[in-house]
Amino acid sequence: MDFTITEDQRHILDTVDRLMRRHYPPEEIRRRDAAHTDCKDMLPVFAKAGLLALPFPEEYGGLAADRLTAILVQERLAWHGAIAGIMFGQLTDFGGMSILKFGTEEQRLQLLPSIIRGEINLCFALTEPGAGSDAAAAVTSATKTSSGWLINGRKIWISMADTSDYLVTMCRSDKGSIGKSGLSTFLIARNSPGVTMTRLEKVGNNCMSSWDIGFDNVEVPDSALMGSEGDGMRNMMTTLQYSRTGQAALAIGIAQAACDAAKAHALERHQFGHRIADFQVIKHRLVNMQMRVEQARLLLYFASSLIDARRSCRKEVAQAKVTASEALEYVSRHGMQIQASFGYSAESDMQRYWRDARLYTFGEGTNELQRDMIAREMGL
């Protein structure tokens, strides 16, 4: 299978490079990370360049690009700055694809053009204090009323909820149900009365804030229901197919940046009268780092091609997510070793890659659960 970048894709990636160099150069990415600055302001910039239109059909104002093209863009954005790739994926995968794939036509017509123009943002409110890896244990409730639904419960570790206009929220709509059945997805306006949020502190991904969200008798209309009642788990798996490949693209983009930084340091740093890149132990370390990235990249591109072909790809998506996240962890750890004290300094990019990397092996489903899924697909 040929994954050679097409001329059109090359032009798009060149646009990404120009955009990031102009608006978000390395020093700006460092400043935002140090200041824990939110980055919703990136969305109109991406929209003006046409990036947010890429994954969506033309009838909603999109460009109808394939999944692989969107993945290439997310990877390149993350190479320049992880938060740029995160913002792109947050809106197009968690938000846009949720609406496109299982939202109502009214929701598509209302929200997709605004997403494409970078006017709104959405987040995916799934995790609960007692429902992380076991998403089917969700207890946040949606109770039917004469005018709509009443939402009560709590979601936790919800990324960038404060800059989102809507929360794509999975709730238990059948009070007596357990497990995967009886779950439904709702589109809840963040500023709805009864929604409260508390920021959670983390050790990395500083520009991607995380929130503890409370729902206290939050009233939503019938039009807030996404898709059919009881389809929440199926809806979630659809969204995760996109978000997990997006997360793999993020990890690969960051990992490639770490490889490049480590290589540049090894070529410049001299010890014992030689560049440290001249020592075999460093050469081999850099080779192993780059091989991990290339392996992950090929798995991701293959999984993306299966999504485009509308073929079953649960195993391939899980493989891409696991391989990419573990490649990033490996590369950032060895990049720190190559750069040593310089990498450990607060001013280096490598320490940011290293801090941020830890999230990816358990975000979007732990790698242990991904391996269980792969095993089931293998018939084990």
Residues designated catalytic: 364
Question: Rounded distance, CA 71 to CA 94, Å?
Answer: 14
Amino acid at 188: I
Question: Rounded distance, CA 350 to CA 340, Å?
Answer: 10
Are the CB atoms for 5 and 72 separated by under 8 Å?
A: yes
Q: Give the contacts of 328 (CB within 8 A, at least 6 positions apart).
A: 251, 252, 254, 255, 258, 353, 357, 360
Handedness of CA 177, 185, 87, 316 (dihedral sign): positive
DSSP string, 51-104: -TTTTS-GGGT-----HHHHHHHHHHHHHH-HHHHHHHHIIIIIIIIHHHHHS-
Bridge partners (DSSP) of residue 185 are: 170, 226
- Which helix (H) or strand (E) segment holds residue 224: the answer is none
Question: Rounded distance, CA 280 to CA 127, Å?
Answer: 46
Are the CB atoms for 141 and 153 separated by under 8 Å?
A: yes
